[in-house]
Amino acid sequence: MNETIPRLVLNLIGPGTISVFGLGFVGAWLIDRKRVYLLALATACLMFGTGMVVQVFHLPPDFAINALVSNLCYTIAVLMVSHGLLRRSGGALAPWFAAVTLALTSGLIAYFCYVDRDVQARIYVQNFGFGAILLLTAIQLRSLVHGRLIDRVLFWTLLVFSVQFFPRTLLTAASMRQGADPAGFGQSMFWQALQLSLAVLGAALALTMLIAALTDVIEDMRHERDIDELTGVRNRRGFEQLAERLLSRTGASAPSLIIADIDHFKQINDGYGHALGDAVLHRFGTMLATSVRGSDVVFRIGGEEFAILLPEEDGKAGELIARLQNNIAQTDFALPDSAQTITASFGVAVALPGESRQSWYARADKALYAAKHQGRDRAIFAGPAAALT
């Protein structure tokens, strides 16, 4: 009696811990319900914890049914981990693969329970199967090694956790001979090694997945905060933050700033209404975002005024503006035939050494004003650079 209670308490540490992680995934989903993969990870925690409780409390008491129920819970948990991680990266677990896996593992466990009562065989089926599923998932997610720090940590933690199934099982399952007493399973070397691996590597994987999920949620919230709802490009707040970061870099090429302003935009609003004006702004912002290079970033900084930050000054600002002017001419802004053709004016400034964001913006804005004053539909470079006409 005195030994049984502490043993049960120790055995419940695993299910309790995994339940806490499950609640964490549910909490993250409640913050950002677009991330459905969080529910898959929460389900994985629930099913794994349930499987452990089934084994610890021998519910149901029949050893064969207990093995089938716990295997079902564990298999669903592993499949949900795989599906959740793949879904997070834009993929998904094939339904047929999940169905075949469940049918195959359940069939093999049933065979080694009712036909050939072999505990060791059941151990190999489960552990090699689970390790293979997670290893295949890690291989599909190998691109994470080139991602953020949390993505790299997640990949390597998943890889180590999946691989450990094989040597751990080979080293410990031999103690479970054919026809071994199921009652002694909880005291076996295999079970103790399994609990240790779950307490260390399993908890590490669950914690890493939770941190990655929370990081995703935080970055998504930050992204939404810095996005202009009308145009879909970043807003003035995002512009100020990125501009400050670019100016604070050391040893890097000076960044360039392009300010674009739609010509005669007030006439569109006054003549055709704000709804049409908003539609023009949306199309203009989309056109800018699809015209710039991958390293360049577009912002709407107020009214009909947009900004483009070029992180590296490589002499391509002039080419970009020429491309933008051509794309503006090719874009259908859905205006009435009587409306004036949409054009834009541009002011360009390359950041000077030690220059503040306010000064940099003021020089580009002054160049934009000069382009407007000289007739619009043109670009002016701040400083000694010549105008594009």
pLDDT given at position 22: 92
Q: Are residues 158 and 275 in the same domain?
A: no
| H or E element in which residue 223 lies | helix 203-225
Domain boundary among 177, 200, 225: 225
- The residue-averaged pLDDT of 112-138 equals 92
Q: Are residues 206 and 299 in the same domain?
A: no
Q: Are residues 211 and 269 in the same domain?
A: no
On whether the CB atoms of residues 45 and 19 are closer than 8 A, the answer is: yes
Query: Is 387 among the domain residues?
Result: no
Query: Is 389 among the domain residues?
Result: no
| H or E element in which residue 299 lies | strand 297-302
DSSP letter at 175 equals G
For the chain, give the number of residues.
389
Q: Are residues 97 and 151 in the same domain?
A: yes
Position 123 pLDDT exceeds 70: yes
DSSP alpha helix (H) spans, 60-146: 63-88, 95-110, 119-140
Domain boundary among 197, 225, 253: 225
**Cα distance between residue 31 and residue 12, in whole Å:** 29
- The residue-averaged pLDDT of 307-334 equals 88
What are φ and ψ of residue 120, in 5° steps? -60, -40
pLDDT given at position 359: 93
| H or E element in which residue 54 lies | helix 37-56
State percent of the chain over pLDDT 70. 90
Position 117 pLDDT exceeds 80: yes
Q: Are residues 259 and 353 in the same domain?
A: yes
Query: In total, how many domains does the chain have?
Result: 2
pLDDT given at position 9: 64
Helices 203-225 and 4-31 pack at an angle, to 10 degrees, of 20
pLDDT given at position 130: 95
> Average pLDDT over the chain, rounded to whole?
87
- The residue-averaged pLDDT of 121-127 equals 91
Closest to 48 measured CA to CA, from 18, 21, 26: 18
Count Cα neighbours of 250 within 13 Å in the Cβ-side half-sphere: 0
Give the domain CATH number at 92: 1.20.1070
Q: Are residues 91 and 214 in the same domain?
A: yes
At 128, the pLDDT band (50, 70, 90 cuts) reads very high
Q: Are residues 211 and 244 in the same domain?
A: no
- The residue-averaged pLDDT of 356-377 equals 93
**Cα distance between residue 292 and residue 8, in whole Å:** 62
Question: How far separated are the first and last CA of the chain, in Å rounded?
Answer: 92
**Cα distance between residue 20 and residue 25, in whole Å:** 9
**CA-angle at 108, arms to 106 and 111, nearest 5°:** 110
Position 179 pLDDT exceeds 80: no
State percent of the chain over pLDDT 90. 55
At 174, the pLDDT band (50, 70, 90 cuts) reads confident
Position 31 pLDDT exceeds 50: yes
Position 361 pLDDT exceeds 50: yes
Query: Is 311 among the domain residues?
Result: yes
**CA-angle at 34, arms to 308 and 47, nearest 5°:** 140
Position 272 pLDDT exceeds 70: yes
What are φ and ψ of residue 375, in 5° steps? 125, 0
Position 88 pLDDT exceeds 50: yes
pLDDT given at position 185: 62
Domain boundary among 225, 256, 271: 225
**Cα distance between residue 137 and residue 80, in whole Å:** 11
Query: Is 377 among the domain residues?
Result: yes
At 59, the pLDDT band (50, 70, 90 cuts) reads confident
- The residue-averaged pLDDT of 361-386 equals 86
- Active-site amino acid positions: 304
Query: Is 388 among the domain residues?
Result: no
Q: Tell me: the pLDDT tens digits for 237-258?
A: 889 988 998 888 776 678 999 9
- The residue-averaged pLDDT of 214-228 equals 83
pLDDT given at position 11: 64
Give the domain CATH number at 259: 3.30.70.270
Host domain of residue 90: 4-225
Query: Is 71 among the domain residues?
Result: yes
Q: Tell me: the pLDDT tens digits for 162-171?
A: 999 999 888 8
Closest to 118 measured CA to CA, from 106, 103, 108: 108
At 182, the pLDDT band (50, 70, 90 cuts) reads low
pLDDT given at position 1: 46
pLDDT top residue among 295 and 112: 112
pLDDT given at position 386: 39
